[in-house]
């Protein structure tokens, strides 16, 4: 029987990234949305705290080994904002509203001060006890800068205005393969793969 691995998200863009990166591990990746699980309130003040909250809660609710991520954009000129509030930076307006608010906040900021990074923390929890009392954590970062206007139709979230370091194209202009190789989530997933494969093997 194929092992189910729950990805604790209802964000289709994130789910597709996880399916690309973990698709060859011989597991069935399912989302919180597909299992009808309720949202977990992100009450933590760090990416680590929120990832752990979601992983533990949805592992317990589903009975499945669960990976949760918390990720976001940190802009140096805004003292690290939007940070853990990246997804709700402009309230309930969604990604386009978030991008508009970000660009407005940076309207008078020159190129050399528009440095930023995407950060992703992954938490792996298993209700079967394979991890003992621990939750495994990995982190990935992608350094870059904020463009003056959106460009590109790929990706999601802030991808149309984030230009990775040493590049000229936004994340939204990159192919899925190119993005996975350098993205914060891709790097966090790469670090999780070896641990995940070991736990999956032990549980079969």
| pLDDT for the residue 204 | 46
For 6, the 3-state DSSP assignment is strand
pLDDT digits (tens, 9 = 90+) for 120-171: 999 999 887 656 557 899 999 999 999 999 999 988 999 999 999 989 999 9
Q: Binding site annotation covers 10?
A: yes
| pLDDT for the residue 53 | 94
Report whether pLDDT(202) > 80: no
DSSP secondary structure string, 68-125?
Answer: EEEEEEEEGGGTT-BGGGGGGTTGGG-HHHHHHHHHHHTTT--GGG-EEEEEEEEEEE
Position 19 confidence tier, pLDDT thresholds 50, 70, 90: confident
Q: What are phi and psi of 156, to 5 degrees?
A: -160, 175
Report whether pLDDT(58) > 70: yes
Mean pLDDT of the chain, nearest integer:
90
Q: Binding site annotation covers 41?
A: yes
Tokens matching residue 139: 């982190």
Q: Which of 101, 78, 79, 71 is nearest to 171 (CA)?
A: 71
Position 12 confidence tier, pLDDT thresholds 50, 70, 90: confident
Q: Binding site annotation covers 4?
A: no
Q: Binding site annotation covers 33?
A: no
Report whether pLDDT(5) > 70: yes
Give pTM, 2 decimals: 0.88
Selected catalytic residue, list 70, 126, 166, 180? 70
| pLDDT for the residue 131 | 61
Q: Is 180 a catalytic residue?
A: no
Q: Binding site annotation covers 12?
A: yes
Mind listing the domains of the chain with CATH numbers? Answer: 4-203 (3.90.950.10)
Enclosing H/E stretch for 164 = strand 162-164
DSSP 50: H
Q: Binding site annotation covers 13?
A: yes
Contact call for residues 137 and 122 (beta carbons, < 8 A) = yes
Report whether pLDDT(115) > 80: yes
Q: Binding site annotation covers 184?
A: yes
């Amino acid at each position: 029987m194929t092992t189910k691995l729950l990805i604790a998200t209802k964000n289709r863009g994130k789910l597709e990234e996880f399916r690309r990166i973990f698709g060859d591990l011989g597991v069935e990746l399912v989302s919180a949305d597909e299992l009808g699980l309720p949202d977990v309130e992100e009450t933590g003040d760090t990416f680590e705290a929120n990832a752990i909250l979601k992983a533990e809660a949805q592992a317990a609710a589903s009975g499945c080994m669960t990976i949760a991520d918390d990720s976001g954009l940190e802009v140096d000129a805004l003292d690290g904002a939007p940070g853990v509030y990246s997804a709700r930076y402009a309230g309930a307006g969604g990604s386009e509203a978030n991008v508009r608010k970000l660009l407005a906040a940076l309207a008078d900021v020159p190129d050399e001060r528009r440095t930023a990074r995407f950060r992703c923390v992954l938490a792996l929890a298993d209700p079967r006890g394979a991890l003992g009392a621990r939750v495994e954590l990995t982190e990935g970062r992608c350094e870059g800068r904020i463009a003056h206007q959106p460009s590109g139709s790929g990706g999601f979230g802030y991808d149309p205005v984030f230009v990775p370091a040493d590049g000229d194209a936004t994340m939204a202009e990159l192919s899925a393969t190119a993005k996975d190789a350098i993205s914060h989530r891709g790097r966090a997933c790469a670090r999780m793969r070896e641990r995940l494969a070991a736990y999956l093997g032990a549980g079969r």
